[in-house]
Amino acid sequence: MNKSIFTPVSSIPKSIEVVSLVDQMDKQYITAGLYLSNQIEDKYNTEHDGKQFKIRDYMEGQRSYTWEKWRASNFIVSVMLQSRIPEIWLYRKDDRDQHKKCLDGQQRLTTLWLFVYDKFSLDMSRAEFNKFPFGNKIYSVKKDLHGKKFSELPQEWRDAILHYSMDAQIFNNCSDEQAEHIYTEMANGTKPLRAIEVRKTGMGTSVRNFIYSIINQRWILHMMTASSAFGSRGLDILSQFITLAKNNGAIDLSRKSIDEAIYDLRDIGISDELQRSINNTGAFIGSTLDAWIQTKKDADKKRVIGRKVKNYGTYRFPMFRNKTITLMFLWAGYRALQKNVSLDAFQKWSYKFFTNPNAKFKRGLPDKKSKAGDFVNVKIRIEAIDEELDKLSHSDKQSDKQEQGGDNVKVQQQATIDESKQPVKQSEKV
């Protein structure tokens, strides 16, 4: 690791009004968050003056935007009532640069931008109080706040929000690597990072970008919610999947093994072949999930397997509540392509299998004495899947032979027919 990461970085305290913060965010002088645009655009339709509010990829160690509307709403009210808000941390590579990046406080900054630009209305269903004072009057949370957008609030309330002064620390001459180190140290000192978040910070930009390029594909949302996909669950499952693919299944899925595999990829890079194989698997899996939905729709117009999620126009499938099943489903798609299993065969088999796995696969599931990531369990599950896919592959080959044989018979039959249609030569007449 570069020693410059550990070079001390000076910071200066500053007070910045919300109106200035959101204006700088709108002009992209301040950037906040990682892979935020997908979730926010779907949730709040963040188009403003004909342009999309884009979030740049810079602070990969940070958590994605995860605040529910009720939580964001409570924060907005706290700002309006001039409550004490923890300071935000910003950094820039050059102290003369007007462009700053958010080191800590992306949830707060993003929420402010969304609300000021009327991207959501206040949800006070989980407010801790029913009435609140403003000026010389007492107001009702339900009547005066609930369901209101920024533009619908009284002018004095809007002014209170816009002119609220946020305490900030500005780190000058700070590189992205230094910022990641500061963030990790800060997070571990206040609220320790979970194992997956440590991996997220250490996996490097290229690996992280590749994983999130997969998460950005819509088929992922059939298996998990957007918040879980862009949060720890998606990162965890896909880093395990990549680890399996890189090692052709011959590895345990312990935290240590996954981290080592992912960090190796960080150092040596992800080969074009591995990227292509994983992307092809994603397309294969996506087509499979689409077929599951369509098959059920055709069979039953009123009901669909899985629960439809209106916000995203996707369907959830119950088996994917289990992380191990989700991972092995991805692996099965990966292996099906290697074994040349047809898409149609895989679509039919996979739904039945992962809804109710066979006895061998179940022996590879965790119990009181073992973990899902233990090498023995991983090996059993992979063997169970491989055996099933081998049967499918063999069946596909037999079907191809039969079709080819049928075609040959048809050709011969057609030739016979054609011969019978030939005019009889005069000499052959009796």
In the prediction, which pLDDT does 281 show?
Answer: 97
Q: Which of 13-17, 160-164, 185-189 has the lowest mean pLDDT?
A: 185-189
Q: Which residues contact 239 (CB under 8 A, 6 or more apart)?
A: 199, 203, 211, 258, 262
Q: Give the position of tokens 């997969």.
A: 214
Confidence of residue 47 (pLDDT cuts 50, 70, 90): very low
Q: What is the pLDDT of residues 76-112, one digit of tens each?
A: 999 999 988 888 989 888 877 888 888 888 888 988 9
**Does pLDDT of 73 surpass 60?**
yes
Is 65 or 143 the better-scoring residue by pLDDT?
143
Determine the Cα angle at 64 with ends 59 and 69, to 5°. 140
Is 161 or 221 the better-scoring residue by pLDDT?
161
Q: Which residues contact 23 (CB under 8 A, 6 or more apart)?
A: none
**Is 152:144 a contact under the CB 8 Å cutoff?**
no
**Does pLDDT of 54 surpass 50?**
no
Q: Which of 75-84, 117-126, 311-320, 410-419 has the lowest mean pLDDT?
A: 410-419
Is 183 or 158 the better-scoring residue by pLDDT?
158
Q: What is the pLDDT of residues 226-257, one digit of tens each?
A: 767 877 888 899 999 999 999 999 999 998 89
**Does pLDDT of 352 surpass 90?**
yes
Q: Which residues contact 235 (CB under 8 A, 6 or more apart)?
A: 196, 199, 200, 211, 215
**Does pLDDT of 421 surpass 80?**
no
Confidence of residue 411 (pLDDT cuts 50, 70, 90): very low
Q: Which residues contact 288 (CB under 8 A, 6 or more apart)?
A: 333, 343, 346, 347, 350
Pick the closest to residue 106 from 81, 122, 133, 88 (CA basis): 88
Q: Which of 10-14, 347-351, 355-359 has the lowest mean pLDDT?
A: 10-14
